[in-house]
């Protein structure tokens, strides 16, 4: 194998440390004289704070000081939201700089969701800090509560923000509404459906945690926190929340124990602890617990979709129209509005060439935790919608759902394909993937299997989930036009040392996807050096150029592409210097296998190390050439990329209890070129697990008072290994023209296929009962009731 | 976690003395509830009394036609025990599906029983098998039928006055069939609804029937109406197993976000029918 490791399924460099427990996570870290923070969370969903008395609590053993909103209001501005949907009127909480505001780190006069941060206790030990919470006396005056988007929009609904009368953050729309309506009117078959997608909790292994230190001697702040966006945090905290010099804040990210989008935002703890660390004069540490995590960290999904699909009896889809109601939570999360607006809205056509699509969404404030992304963000909700509609359409016209898909899928000759909602699909072979997945599942002899299952009292069903999932965020100007107050280019520095060792500094933020390995594979392969000689530097704002972080399946195809581009430029300079050292013309040499050699005589060569060394000495460089061998590269992707595939689920339902088992699961995924197929496979497994959960068991439940009922793993079920089906995965490779490697996003792209495949299978199994749809999670009780007709 | 004292007595008497003399002393068996539960479970504990060093609490022996299982025997030890495998394989089978492998390696029969959680699997199994519970307290030792133990628990949960020493399970008569069926709680891995049935056949008729329900009600309970309907019925007949014959009238079912009372009631009837059918088949096996 040597150095040609890109594309090879090699083991990950990260794993030995992780598996032996040597890897350090935020909660493992300690500093001298550190003190601990506990947060008092509001038990009320909507209330005025009439009185807050911390005097008793302040005198408890170990308590150093207790802070409230009033104590910090002069030291901190509100948090911010950096996605302001473009081209429409928007309403956000206020911020002194005129950017969209979010919540204050600690509530001042009002609380607007159960879990809002009301006070912070600083104490010598974590236990003393948490013990003091119950001694803080808070008097609330209840206000009426509203917990759903639709209710919050009604006239007379409780108002959350003076700056947002009517509770509407934004009403966005994409596509041509009139064209869609006209096509619907003319169509032979029209389906009007309502899909409710509950909120989901990420339940990462590791809760969020933050350590903050202020050094009075240098006026410098340091943050250790498990965030997916360290540079984003650095910028927002220094410039928009604390008003301190950007250069005075350093953010370091230790290992992250899972995130799935939950750690990808700016939360209250980071800026708050920095302020408190300065006030108290000691480093401070906050580590969340499982129960509080359900209110401190964004919820995901949460959409109520009214969808109309129109088509003809020959199976062709003529139009799609969607109206979506989304509860953003009591305050907007950092990038919260982007998921239900562009990520869902522009994606609802899925794999199909739908001539008249239209999507609109109402993004609304209500008394709940803030809404953010989760693995499969926005695209899961979109695929669920279109894949369910396609199946229902197929049943309506009596056609095989696979055949309806074939009839409507974007054809290979149609790429690049503009989906008329704003995306341009780069490349794809949708039907090939579909057919392969069906083949693997044994689609054609399913009737016989159904009959056999029936003999054992089981109803068997097969369901298809096809997907096209946007990845590789993204072209900066495009994101700006969408409403992002920020940017999405990638950055990389590749440096070849005089010893031949290579350092690659990357803008990604690993949180389980194996970038330390896969990026080293890129550099090793492209430069022709052994992978052991490649070091990847990341996760520290000191020394790493501004970096966008990792989310939405962008690391390999965007940040990795930047490393790839940097390597090409390194090779170019190496070629020039190599030619110079060999006394040859540039046109007469090639870079191959880690050296520059003459075409005429391969024996005449200089290795990369010799070239780097010569550039380091710089005793004899060509005129105009700088010393050293180092390149900084920025990669602004020309467009988003679109991984795709099809999953097929076979379920068996106990006809008496409704208990459902996924007995077979197959999938074909196409993420373009795969830098490390084993890493991609791991990401596929994780994505499937993250889809099984919401399909069959996961949902956030609020009661009508805005109290969150699903607070921990006793009340919020997540899939165990025993809940996971056996699955068989295959891949096709359709490269993208958008980056030098042909790679597309991979980390979360298959998750959207799972719930639709499973629910399609369930509805197939229950079709004889006339069951048209089951909302997720498709629990046994829901299935039992559907069979009975209620 | 709170600061608390740790004690590891070597005898039952020492353990009982500690538990009765110190307020808020808690016994520690497999630790699957008290150590893995919320922090609040430990916040009022003054002394944690580790029962792990008491040799007399471990082990399984056959005694007068019954299996006597020490309270500190883990679920996995029971499920893999050769005596159990020989005399009461259905017990191994039932215990083998409790929770998951990691839990079964640590959870003990005594700890599980003493915890008194109505969603646990064990009570249904022990009720159907007519188990007795050996207790030791300040006033000495006594043995009670499982029904009485569970009733006492429902009146005053987590009484610290008496320690479970062992659980004694009579080996069912020849021509008995034992079945345990359960729907798992998706989050807690306990019993959303569980039914255990022990039926004994004699000359083609059902001579004895014990059917118990757990998970679906506030307290585990025997289904006496079902037992009555089964007695003297034919072993090969369908009537005992048909859902329509199963009466759960008068039983109050629990409802929550995971399953409504109506659905639990339905599950109870379905599982009872299936458990009876399976137990009947096993009487002649």
Q: B186 vs A716: CB contact, 8 Å cut-off?
A: no
Q: Is B1 on the interface with A (CB under 8 A)?
A: yes
> In total, how many domains does chain A have?
3
Q: For an interface test with B, which of A61, A710, A714, A785 has the most B Cβ atoms less than 10 Å from its Cβ?
A: A714
SS3 A196: strand
Residue A649: CATH number of its domain: 3.30.365.10
Q: A717 vs B270: CB contact, 8 Å cut-off?
A: no
SS3 A610: helix
User: In this predicted structure, what is the pLDDT of residue B238?
Assistant: 62
Residues A9 and A44 in one domain: no
SS3 A362: strand
A292 lies in some domain: no
Using the CB atoms, write b or e for B87-123: b if 16+ within 10 Å. bbebbbebbebbbeeebbebbbbbbbbbbbbbbbbbb
For the domain made up of B55-170, the CATH class stated in words is alpha beta
Residues A466 and A592 in one domain: no
A380 lies in some domain: no
Question: Which residues is B60 bridged to in the sheet?
Answer: B69
- The answer to whether residues B105 and B189 touch, using CB atoms and an 8 Å cutoff, is no
Of the candidates A609, A635, A661, which is a domain's last residue? A635
Q: For an interface test with B, which of A292, A780, A783 has the most B Cβ atoms less than 10 Å from its Cβ?
A: A780
Q: Which ipTM was obtained for this model? A: 0.92
- Tell whether the model's pLDDT for residue B2 goes beyond 60: no
Q: What is the pLDDT of residues B224-280, one digit of tens each?
A: 999 999 999 888 766 555 556 688 988 999 999 899 999 999 999 999 999 999 999
- CA dist., res. A686 & res. A682, Å (int): 6
SS3 A650: strand
Q: Which residues of A touch B266 (CB under 8 A)?
A: 657, 784
Question: Which phi and psi angles does A22 have, rounded to 5°?
Answer: -85, -20
- The answer to whether residues A174 and A421 touch, using CB atoms and an 8 Å cutoff, is yes
Q: B183 vs A291: CB contact, 8 Å cut-off?
A: no
A568 lies in some domain: yes
- Tell whether the model's pLDDT for residue B38 goes beyond 70: no
A83 lies in some domain: yes
Q: Which residues of A touch B259 (CB under 8 A)?
A: 781
A334 lies in some domain: no
Q: A697 vs B186: CB contact, 8 Å cut-off?
A: yes
Residues A555 and A681 in one domain: no
User: In this predicted structure, what is the pLDDT of residue A339?
Assistant: 97
Of the candidates A279, A314, A336, which is a domain's last residue? A279
- The answer to whether residues A353 and A98 touch, using CB atoms and an 8 Å cutoff, is no
Contacts of residue A107, defined as CB under 8 A and 6 or more positions apart, other chains included, come to A42, A49, A69, A116, A117, A118
Residues A630 and A769 in one domain: no
Averaged over successive runs of 10 residues, the pLDDT of chain A (790 residues) comes to 87 95 96 98 98 97 97 97 98 97 97 98 96 97 98 98 98 98 98 98 97 98 96 96 97 96 97 98 97 97 98 98 98 97 98 98 98 97 98 98 98 97 97 98 94 95 98 96 95 96 93 94 97 94 85 93 97 97 96 96 96 97 96 96 98 96 97 97 96 98 95 93 91 96 96 98 95 97 94
User: In this predicted structure, what is the pLDDT of residue B39?
Assistant: 57
Q: How many CA atoms lie within 13 Å of A452's alpha carbon, on the beta-carbon side?
A: 5
Residues A662 and A547 in one domain: no
CATH 3.30.465.10 range(s) for chain B read: 55-170
SS3 B181: strand
Q: Which residue from B minimizes the CA distance to A712?
A: B187
Report the residue from B183, B188, B266 with minimal CB separation from A714: B188
User: In this predicted structure, what is the pLDDT of residue B156?
Assistant: 66
- What number of residues does chain A have? 790
Q: B260 vs A659: CB contact, 8 Å cut-off?
A: no
Residues A677 and A558 in one domain: no
**Tally of CB atoms within 10 A around A686:** 19
Q: B189 vs A720: CB contact, 8 Å cut-off?
A: yes
A789 lies in some domain: yes
Residues A454 and A498 in one domain: no
**Which bin fits A329, alpha (ψ -120 to 50), beta or left (φ > 0)?**
left
- The DSSP annotation for A305-319 comes to EEEEEEE-TTS-EEE
- pLDDT-derived band at B23 (thresholds 50, 70, 90) equals confident
User: In this predicted structure, what is the pLDDT of residue A413?
Assistant: 97
Q: Is B101 on the interface with A (CB under 8 A)?
A: no
Chain pair A-B, CB pairs under 8 angstroms = 42
Q: If residue A300 lies in a helix (H) or strand (E), which one and from where to where?
A: strand A300-311
- DSSP-derived letter for residue A449 is H
- CA dist., res. A160 & res. A147, Å (int): 11
Question: Which phi and psi angles does A230 have, rounded to 5°?
Answer: -60, -40
- The answer to whether residues A657 and A720 touch, using CB atoms and an 8 Å cutoff, is no
- CA dist., res. A774 & res. A782, Å (int): 7
User: In this predicted structure, what is the pLDDT of residue A648?
Assistant: 98
Q: Is B44 on the interface with A (CB under 8 A)?
A: no
Of the candidates A618, A635, A652, which is a domain's last residue? A635
User: In this predicted structure, what is the pLDDT of residue B157?
Assistant: 59
pTM of the model: 0.95
Q: If residue B163 lies in a helix (H) or strand (E), which one and from where to where?
A: strand B162-170
**Which CATH number is B5-50 given?**
3.30.43
Q: Which residues of B touch A722 (CB under 8 A)?
A: 100
Report the residue from B1, B187, B271 with minimal CB separation from A717: B187
Question: Which phi and psi angles does A777 have, rounded to 5°?
Answer: -70, 135
Quote the CATH superfamily of domain B176-281: CO dehydrogenase flavoprotein, C-terminal domain (3.30.390.50)
**Tally of CB atoms within 10 A around A728:** 14
Q: Is B144 on the interface with A (CB under 8 A)?
A: no
Residues A443 and A504 in one domain: no
Question: Which residues is B215 bridged to in the sheet?
Answer: none
Q: A127 vs B100: CB contact, 8 Å cut-off?
A: no
The mean pLDDT value for B26-50 works out to 80
Residues A561 and A680 in one domain: no
- The answer to whether residues A364 and A171 touch, using CB atoms and an 8 Å cutoff, is no
Q: Which residue from B minimizes the CA distance to A710?
A: B257
Pairing of β B132-137 and β B66-70: unpaired
- Dig out the tokens for A487 from the structure: 């940017």
- Dig out the tokens for A93 from the structure: 């909480």
Q: A291 vs B38: CB contact, 8 Å cut-off?
A: yes
- The answer to whether residues A262 and A581 touch, using CB atoms and an 8 Å cutoff, is no
User: In this predicted structure, what is the pLDDT of residue A384?
Assistant: 98
- Dig out the tokens for B95 from the structure: 């215990």
Cα-trace Rg, chain B: 19
Residue A96: CATH number of its domain: 3.90.1170.50
Residues A628 and A667 in one domain: no
**Tally of CB atoms within 10 A around A12:** 18
Q: A784 vs B266: CB contact, 8 Å cut-off?
A: yes
- The answer to whether residues A52 and A133 touch, using CB atoms and an 8 Å cutoff, is no
- CA dist., res. A184 & res. A356, Å (int): 9
Domain containing A586 equals 3-20+489-635
Q: Which residue has the tokens 């056959």?
A: B62
How far away is chain B from the Cα of A283, in angstroms, using its nearest Cα? 23
CATH 3.30.43 range(s) for chain B read: 5-50
Q: Which residues of A touch B189 (CB under 8 A)?
A: 720
Q: B186 vs A717: CB contact, 8 Å cut-off?
A: yes
Q: Which residue has the tokens 């009372």?
A: B261
Report the residue from A657, A697, A710 with minimal CB separation from B183: A657
**Tally of CB atoms within 10 A around A245:** 12
Residues A654 and A741 in one domain: yes
Q: B267 vs A657: CB contact, 8 Å cut-off?
A: yes
Residues A8 and A50 in one domain: no
- What ranges in A299-374 are assigned the alpha helix state H? 344-345
């Amino acid at each position: 194998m040597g150095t040609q490791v890109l594309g090879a399924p090699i083991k990950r460099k990260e794993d030995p440390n992780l598996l032996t427990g040597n890897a350090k996570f935020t909660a493992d870290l300690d500093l001298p004289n550190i003190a601990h923070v506990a947060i008092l969370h509001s038990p009320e969903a909507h209330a005025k704070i009439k009185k807050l008395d911390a005097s008793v609590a302040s005198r408890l053993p170990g308590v150093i000081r207790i802070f409230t909103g009033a104590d910090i209001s002069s030291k901190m501005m509100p948090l911010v939201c950096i996605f302001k949907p473009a081209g429409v009127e928007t309403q956000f909480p206020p911020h002194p700089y005129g950017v969209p505001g979010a919540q204050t780190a600690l509530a001042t006069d009002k609380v607007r969701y159960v879990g809002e941060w009301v006070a912070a206790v600083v104490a010598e030990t974590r236990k003393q800090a948490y013990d003091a919470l119950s001694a803080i006396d808070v008097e609330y005056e209840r206000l009426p509560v509203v917990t759903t988007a639709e209710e919050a929009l009604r006239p007379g609904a409780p108002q959350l923000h003076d700056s947002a009368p009517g509770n509407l953050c934004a009403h966005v729309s994409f596509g041509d509404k009139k064209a869609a309506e006209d096509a619907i009117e003319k169509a032979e078959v029209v389906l009007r459906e309502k899909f409710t997608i509950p909120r989901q909790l990420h339940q990462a292994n590791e809760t969020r945690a933050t350590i903050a230190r202020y050094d009075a001697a240098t006026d410098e702040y340091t943050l250790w926190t498990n965030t997916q966006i360290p540079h984003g945090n650095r910028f927002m905290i220094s410039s928009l929340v604390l008003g301190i010099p950007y250069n005075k804040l350093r953010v370091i990210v230790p290992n992250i124990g899972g995130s799935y989008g939950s750690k990808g935002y700016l939360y209250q703890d980071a800026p708050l602890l920095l302020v408190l660390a300065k006030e108290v004069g000691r480093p401070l540490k906050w580590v969340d617990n499982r129960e509080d995590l359900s209110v401190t960290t964004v919820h995901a999904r949460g959409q109520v979709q009214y969808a109309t699909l129109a088509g003809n009896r020959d199976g062709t889809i003529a139009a799609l129209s969607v109206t979506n109601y989304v509860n953003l939570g009591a305050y907007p999360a950092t990038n919260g509005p982007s998921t239900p607006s562009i990520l869902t809205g522009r994606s609802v056509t899925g794999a199909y060439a739908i001539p008249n699509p239209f999507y609109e969404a109402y993004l609304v404030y209500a008394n709940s935790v803030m809404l953010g992304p989760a693995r499969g963000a926005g695209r899961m909700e979109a695929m669920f919608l279109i894949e369910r509609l396609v199946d229902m359409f197929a049943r309506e016209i009596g056609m095989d759902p696979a055949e309806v898909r074939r009839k409507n899928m974007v054809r290979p000759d149609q790429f690049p394909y503009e989906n008329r909602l704003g995306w341009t699909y780069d490349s794809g072979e949708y039907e090939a993937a579909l057919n392969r997945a069906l083949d693997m599942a044994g689609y054609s002899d399913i009737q016989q299997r159904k009959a056999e299952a029936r003999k054992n009292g089981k109803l068997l069903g097969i369901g298809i989930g096809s997907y096209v999932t946007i990845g590789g965020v993204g072209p900066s100007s495009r994101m700006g036009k969408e409403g992002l107050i920020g940017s999405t280019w990638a950055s990389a520095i590749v440096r070849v040392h005089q010893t031949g060792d290579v350092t690659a500094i990357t803008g990604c933020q690993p949180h389980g996807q194996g970038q330390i390995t896969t990026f080293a594979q890129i550099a090793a392969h492209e430069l022709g050096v052994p992978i052991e000689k490649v070091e990847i530097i990341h996760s520290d704002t000191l020394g790493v150029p501004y970096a966008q972080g990792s989310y939405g399946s962008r690391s390999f195809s965007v940040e990795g592409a930047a490393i790839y581009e940097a390597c090409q430029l390194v090779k170019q300079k190496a070629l020039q210097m190599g030619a110079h050292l060999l006394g040859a013309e540039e046109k007469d040499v090639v870079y191959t296998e880690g050296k520059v050699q003459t075409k005429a005589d391969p024996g005449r060569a200089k290795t990369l190390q010799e070239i780097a060394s010569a550039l380091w000495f710089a005793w004899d460089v060509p005129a105009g050439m700088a010393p050293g061998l180092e390149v900084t590269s920025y990669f602004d992707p020309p467009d988003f990329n679109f991984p795709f595939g099809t999953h097929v689920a076979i379920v068996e339902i106990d006809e008496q209890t409704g208990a459902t088992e996924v007995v077979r699961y197959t999938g074909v995924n196409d993420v373009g070129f795969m830098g490390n197929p084993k890493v991609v496979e791991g990401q596929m497994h994780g994505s499937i697990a993250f889809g099984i959960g919401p399909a069959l068991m996961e949902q956030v439940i609020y009661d009508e008072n805005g109290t969150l009922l699903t607070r921990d793993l006793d009340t919020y079920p997540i899939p165990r290994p025993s809940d996971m089906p056996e699955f068989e995965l295959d891949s096709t490779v359709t490269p993208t023209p958008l980056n030098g490697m042909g790679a597309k996003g991979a980390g979360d792209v298959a998750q959207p296929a799972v719930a639709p495949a499973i629910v399609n299978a369930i509805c197939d199994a229950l079709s004889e009962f006339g069951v048209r749809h089951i909302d997720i999670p498709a629990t046994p009780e829901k299935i039992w009731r559907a069979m009975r007709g209620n | 976690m709170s600061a608390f004292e740790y004690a590891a007595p070597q005898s039952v008497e020492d353990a009982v003395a500690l538990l009765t003399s110190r307020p808020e002393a808690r016994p520690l068996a497999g630790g699957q509830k008290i150590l893995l539960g919320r922090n609040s479970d430990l916040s009022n504990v003054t002394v944690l009394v580790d029962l792990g060093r008491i040799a007399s609490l471990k082990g399984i022996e056959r005694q007068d036609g019954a299996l006597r299982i020490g309270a500190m025997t883990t679920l996995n030890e029971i499920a893999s025990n050769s005596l159990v495998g020989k005399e009461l394989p259905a017990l191994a089978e039932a215990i083998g599906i409790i929770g998951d492998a990691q839990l079964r390696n640590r959870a003990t029969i005594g700890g599980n029983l003493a915890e008194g959680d109505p969603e646990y699997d064990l009570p249904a199994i022990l009720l159907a098998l007519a188990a007795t519970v050996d207790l030791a307290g300040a006033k000495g030792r006594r043995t009670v039928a499982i029904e009485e133990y569970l009733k006492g628990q429902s009146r005053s949960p987590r009484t610290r006055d008496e320690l479970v020493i062992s659980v004694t399970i009579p080996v069912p008569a020849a021509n008995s069939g034992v079945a345990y069926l359960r729907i798992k709680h998706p989050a807690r891995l306990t019993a959303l609804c569980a039914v255990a049935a022990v039926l004994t056949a004699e000359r083609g008729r059902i001579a004895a029937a014990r059917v118990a329900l757990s998970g679906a009600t506030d307290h585990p309970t025997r289904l006496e109406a079902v037992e009555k309907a089964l007695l003297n019925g034919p072993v090969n007949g369908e009537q005992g197993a048909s859902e329509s014959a199963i009466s759960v009238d008068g039983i109050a079912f629990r409802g929550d976000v995971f399953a409504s009372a109506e659905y639990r009631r339905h599950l109870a009837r379905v599982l009872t029918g299936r458990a009876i059918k399976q137990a009947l088949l096993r009487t002649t096996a």
